[in-house]
């Protein structure tokens, strides 16, 4: 008996009268009036089989032993269903198979959760039994979409003459950047490899080598404390080009992303994508990855309030900070004092010392601080905030970064709470003109916002010495619905610009050489103008699949404590393994 002539989910009415053999898992078994119905599932879908004593008493007898998730091979004839039992929701809903032969390939214990129903299951249980969780239709669909996304991107880039090239996983630790995962060397006592945070240096070297168009869909690693949308290992669509420039690269990426959304969602996304400078994004949304699917923008009221009688506002402006507000249109009545206290607590998590508020009533501004605003100030506020009766106005006064963080987060929360977000929208956005460097208070020096090879904008080069924080970079992020899908930059390829950059970052010539020696060496042998981008595949799939949990896009993910509940990794190793690696533990090892 062969395994299959057809796939379960593809047996439609066109096969009526034909004999077929199918193999798969038992989704459901029902006994009904002396008959046994089995829904058999394979990768393609589900089909119904019916066993009856008239057709084969032997097959019926075997079918009786069958339980959920047994693996069966069944041969039978495709019959048209009674009109009354047609299931229009299923591809195979117009037919059923009259089972003539049945072979149990394997039995199954009762699974710890239902494979067929889309129910809420504790995630730890799902991760422990991931092989069963992955049988669930929603997980099958998500991973199929991941495959389609990957495939589309490969085909797109290869059509554009990109070469897939592999870079090392066992590479060198670089103290800059996030924390590395280290791999001890057995052959070189006391020495370590690092797993790559990204193939950044290697892809730039491939440009020095003249490959011109590189791509790789590659695993990257960061040993950081995890948030909901982070994994210790993640997959990156990594791209680098020579002789292309920022405009051509961004336009190509738009082509790729719109093609992808069309392919997997059927949606048409207009091109070119909107662009926003980093400065504008921070001003209007308090975020460098704004979700533009809804309004609730941040409005700067510093000029209006700096002379007002409300000392908190005036002082914030006086001290170099600012006052910004969100106008929550028409929602004044929906927010009680207690509700607003909740919002205040929320913004406090982002460093805001308070959340001031007023409501707009027919008679003017109302609320605990309204008394501090004279008629003229109130009118100005109403004007600037485009406020009308029934609006709720929320204010934060602080230094710019706190205002942005807290009001930006509050905006996102309100958008969600108030149902302002259209879940069907795909709002792509380029955020451009990032600052080249920022001042690190702890390190007491400037640090690169992207990395030390990011090209400054030509027109800002003259500020490198006098006012580094004002220099804008040729760097860009691709944002989708408030998530950073990825980012990149054009790279410095000229020696004098690179030297200026290192000087700004406080590196001595020696220090720079120690840190980036081989790349600087490489750059002396004819480096082409080059630049690139890297996109997070896991996050891309999450957004396209409409999931909210990054783990649902990864076949075998890790928990927030970087554990694999399926394999129990990480785990203790034995003494011999440690000895070979010239290592000792500074903790008590569990016995093993």
Locate 34 and state its tokens.
């002396």
Q: Applying CB under 8 A, which of residues 30, 43, 337, 462 lies at the interface with a second copy?
A: 43
Query: What's the closest the beta carbon of residue 197 comes to a second copy, in angstroms?
Result: 13
Binding mask 181-200 for a second copy (x = CB under 8 A): xxxxxxxxxxxxxxx-----
Closer of 289 and 500 to a second copy (Cβ): 500
Question: Does 125 engage in binding with a second copy (CB under 8 A)?
Answer: no
Q: Are strands 95-106 and 45-51 parallel, antiparallel or unpaired?
A: parallel
Binding mask 71-100 for a second copy (x = CB under 8 A): x-----------------------------
Sign of CA dihedral 206, 207, 212, 218: positive
Question: Does 353 engage in binding with a second copy (CB under 8 A)?
Answer: no
Question: Does 12 engage in binding with a second copy (CB under 8 A)?
Answer: no
Question: Does 219 engage in binding with a second copy (CB under 8 A)?
Answer: yes
* DSSP codes joined into one string, 306-330: TTSS-HHHHHHHHTT-EEEEEEETT
Question: Does 551 engage in binding with a second copy (CB under 8 A)?
Answer: no
Confirm whether residue 539 is marked as ligand binding: yes
Query: What's the closest the beta carbon of residue 271 comes to a second copy, in angstroms?
Result: 21
Q: Is residue 354 helix, strand or coil?
A: coil
Confirm whether residue 141 is marked as ligand binding: no
Cross-strand pairs, 298? 326
Confirm whether residue 231 is marked as ligand binding: yes
Tokens 């750059």 locate to 523
Question: Does 179 engage in binding with a second copy (CB under 8 A)?
Answer: yes
Question: Does 211 engage in binding with a second copy (CB under 8 A)?
Answer: yes
> Which run of H or E residues covers position 144?
helix 137-159
Q: Applying CB under 8 A, which of residues 19, 65, 172, 371 lies at the interface with a second copy?
A: 172
CA 364 to chain centre: 44
Q: How far is the C-alpha of 510 from the C-alpha of 514, rounded, in Å?
A: 6
Locate 436 and state its tokens.
């080249």
Tokens 């058999």 locate to 40
Peptide linkage before 272 cis (omega within 30 of 0): yes
Question: Does 250 engage in binding with a second copy (CB under 8 A)?
Answer: no
Radius of gyration from C-alpha coordinates of the chain: 30
Question: Does 227 engage in binding with a second copy (CB under 8 A)?
Answer: no
Q: Applying CB under 8 A, which of residues 28, 135, 279, 451 lies at the interface with a second copy?
A: 135
Closer of 54 and 590 to a second copy (Cβ): 590
Q: Applying CB under 8 A, which of residues 51, 70, 430, 446 lies at the interface with a second copy?
A: 70
Stretch that binds a second copy, among 48-56, 306-314, 483-491, 551-559 (CB under 8 A): 551-559
Q: Is residue 234 helix, strand or coil?
A: strand
Kindly give, in sequence order, each residue whose CB lies less than 8 Å from that of residue 118, ignoring residues fewer than 6 positions away.
136, 137, 138
Closer of 244 and 304 to a second copy (Cβ): 244
Q: Give the count of beta carbons closer than 10 Å to the beta carbon of residue 168.
A: 11
Tokens 């009680």 locate to 336
Question: Does 527 engage in binding with a second copy (CB under 8 A)?
Answer: yes
Whether the Cβ atoms of residue 491 and residue 455 lie closer than 8 Å to each other? yes
Q: Are strands 35-42 and 19-32 parallel, antiparallel or unpaired?
A: antiparallel
Stretch that binds a second copy, among 84-92, 219-227, 265-273, 316-324 (CB under 8 A): 219-227
Confirm whether residue 509 is marked as ligand binding: no
State which of positions 475-494 bind a second copy (CB under 8 A). Answer: 493-494
3-state SS, 41-64, equals EECCEEEEEEECCCCCHHHHHHHH
| Size of site (CB under 8 A) for a second copy | 121
Closer of 108 and 312 to a second copy (Cβ): 108
Cross-strand pairs, 40? 26, 47
Question: Does 400 engage in binding with a second copy (CB under 8 A)?
Answer: no
Query: What's the closest the beta carbon of residue 452 comes to a second copy, in angstroms?
Result: 16
Confirm whether residue 176 is marked as ligand binding: yes
Locate 356 and state its tokens.
């001031």
Confirm whether residue 484 is marked as ligand binding: yes
Closer of 70 and 373 to a second copy (Cβ): 70
Q: How far is the C-alpha of 558 from the C-alpha of 265, rounded, in Å?
A: 28
Closer of 270 and 526 to a second copy (Cβ): 526
Peptide linkage before 395 cis (omega within 30 of 0): no
Query: What's the closest the beta carbon of residue 503 comes to a second copy, in angstroms?
Result: 20
Question: Does 235 engage in binding with a second copy (CB under 8 A)?
Answer: yes
Q: Applying CB under 8 A, which of residues 201, 323, 343, 512 lies at the interface with a second copy?
A: 201
Confirm whether residue 337 is marked as ligand binding: no
Closer of 243 and 439 to a second copy (Cβ): 243
Q: Applying CB under 8 A, which of residues 127, 165, 276, 304 lies at the interface with a second copy?
A: 165
With 0-12 / 13-18 / 19 or more C-beta atoms within 10 angstroms meaning exposed / middle / buried, residue 318 is: exposed
Query: What's the closest the beta carbon of residue 584 comes to a second copy, in angstroms?
Result: 4
Question: Does 65 engage in binding with a second copy (CB under 8 A)?
Answer: no
Question: Does 561 engage in binding with a second copy (CB under 8 A)?
Answer: yes
Question: Does 453 engage in binding with a second copy (CB under 8 A)?
Answer: no
Tokens 């690693």 locate to 221
Taking CA atoms, 9 is separated from 3, 25, 48, 124, 143, in Å, by 15, 12, 10, 31, 18
Q: Is residue 193 helix, strand or coil?
A: strand
Q: Applying CB under 8 A, which of residues 55, 86, 121, 134 lies at the interface with a second copy?
A: 134
Closer of 221 and 278 to a second copy (Cβ): 221
Confirm whether residue 538 is marked as ligand binding: yes
Closer of 204 and 287 to a second copy (Cβ): 204
User: Buried b / exposed e across 246-260, counting CB within 10 Å, b at 16+?
Assistant: beebbebbbebbbeb
Confirm whether residue 577 is marked as ligand binding: no
Whether the Cβ atoms of residue 47 and residue 79 lie closer than 8 Å to each other? no
Stretch that binds a second copy, among 144-152, 261-269, 350-358, 391-399 (CB under 8 A): 144-152
Question: Does 153 engage in binding with a second copy (CB under 8 A)?
Answer: no
Question: Does 1 engage in binding with a second copy (CB under 8 A)?
Answer: no
Locate 83 and state its tokens.
């009109």
Query: What's the closest the beta carbon of residue 246 comes to a second copy, in angstroms?
Result: 13
3-state SS, 370-430, equals HHHCCHHHHHHHHHHCCCCCCCEEEEEEECHHHHHHHHHHHHHHHHHHCCCCCCCCCCEEE
Annotated binding-site residues for ATP read: 222-224, 231, 484, 536-539
Annotated binding-site residues for L-aspartate read: 176, 222, 450, 491
């Amino acid at each position: 008996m062969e395994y299959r002539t057809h796939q379960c989910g593809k047996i439609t009415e066109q096969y009526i009268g034909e004999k077929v053999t199918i193999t798969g898992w038992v989704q459901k078994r029902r006994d009904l009036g002396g008959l046994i119905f089995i829904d058999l599932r394979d990768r393609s879908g589900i089909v119904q089989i019916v066993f009856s004593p008239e057709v084969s008493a032997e097959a019926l007898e075997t079918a009786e032993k069958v339980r959920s998730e047994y693996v069966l091979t069944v041969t039978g004839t495709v019959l048209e269903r009674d009109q009354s039992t047609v299931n229009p929701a299923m591809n195979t809903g117009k037919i059923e198979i009259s089972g003539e032969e049945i072979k149990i390939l394997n039995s199954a214990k009762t699974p710890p959760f239902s494979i067929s129903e889309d129910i809420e299951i504790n995630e730890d249980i799902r991760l422990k039994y991931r092989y069963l969780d992955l049988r669930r239709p929603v997980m099958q669909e998500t991973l199929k979409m991941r495959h389609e996304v990957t495939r589309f991107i490969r085909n797109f880039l290869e059509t554009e003459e990109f070469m897939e090239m592999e870079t090392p996983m066992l590479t060198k630790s670089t103290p800059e950047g996030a924390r590395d995962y280290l791999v001890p060397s057995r052959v070189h006592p006391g020495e370590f490899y690092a797993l790559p945070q990204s193939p950044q240096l290697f892809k730039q070297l491939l440009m020095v080598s003249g490959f011109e168009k590189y791509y790789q869909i590659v695993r990257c690693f960061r040993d950081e404390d995890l948030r909901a949308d982070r994994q210790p290992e993640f997959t990156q669509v990594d791209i680098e080009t020579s002789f292309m420039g920022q405009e051509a690269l961004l336009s190509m990426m738009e082509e790729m992303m719109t093609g992808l959304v069309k392919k997997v969602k059927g949606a048409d996304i207009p091109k070119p994508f909107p662009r926003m400078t980093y400065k504008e994004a921070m001003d209007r949304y308090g975020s460098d990855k704004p979700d533009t699917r809804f309004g609730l923008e941040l409005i700067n009221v510093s000029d209006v309030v700096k002379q007002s009688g409300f000392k908190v506002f005036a002082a914030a402006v006086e001290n170099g900070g600012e006052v910004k507000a969100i106008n929550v249109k028409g929602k004044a009545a929906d927010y009680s004092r207690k509700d607003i206290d909740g919002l205040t607590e929320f913004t406090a998590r982002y460093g805001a010392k308070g959340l001031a508020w007023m409501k707009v009533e027919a008679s003017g501004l109302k609320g605990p601080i309204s008394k501090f605003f004279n008629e003229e100030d109130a009118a100005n506020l109403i004007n600037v905030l485009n406020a009308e009766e029934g609006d709720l106005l929320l204010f934060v006064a602080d230094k710019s970064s706190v205002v942005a963080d807290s009001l930006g987060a509050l905006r996102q929360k309100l958008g969600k709470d108030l149902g302002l977000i259209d879940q069907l929208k795909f709002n792509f956005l380029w955020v451009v003109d990032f600052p080249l460097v920022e001042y690190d208070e702890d390190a007491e020096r400037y640090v690169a916002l992207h990395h030390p090879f990011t090209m400054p904008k030509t027109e800002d080069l003259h500020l490198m010495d006098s006012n580094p924080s004002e220099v804008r970079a040729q760097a860009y992020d691709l944002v989708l619905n408030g998530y950073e899908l990825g980012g990149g930059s054009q790279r410095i390829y000229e020696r004098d610009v690179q030297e200026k950059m290192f000087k700004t970052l406080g590196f001595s010539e020696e220090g720079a050489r120690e840190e980036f020696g081989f790349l600087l060496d490489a750059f002396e042998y004819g480096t082409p103008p080059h630049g690139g981008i890297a996109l997070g595949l896991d996050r891309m799939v999450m957004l396209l699949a409409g999931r909210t949990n990054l783990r649902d896009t990864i076949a075998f993910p890790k928990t927030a404590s970087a554990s694999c509940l399926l394999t129990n990794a990480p785990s203790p190793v034995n003494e011999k393994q440690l000895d070979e690696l010239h290592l000792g533990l500074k903790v008590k090892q569990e016995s093993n």
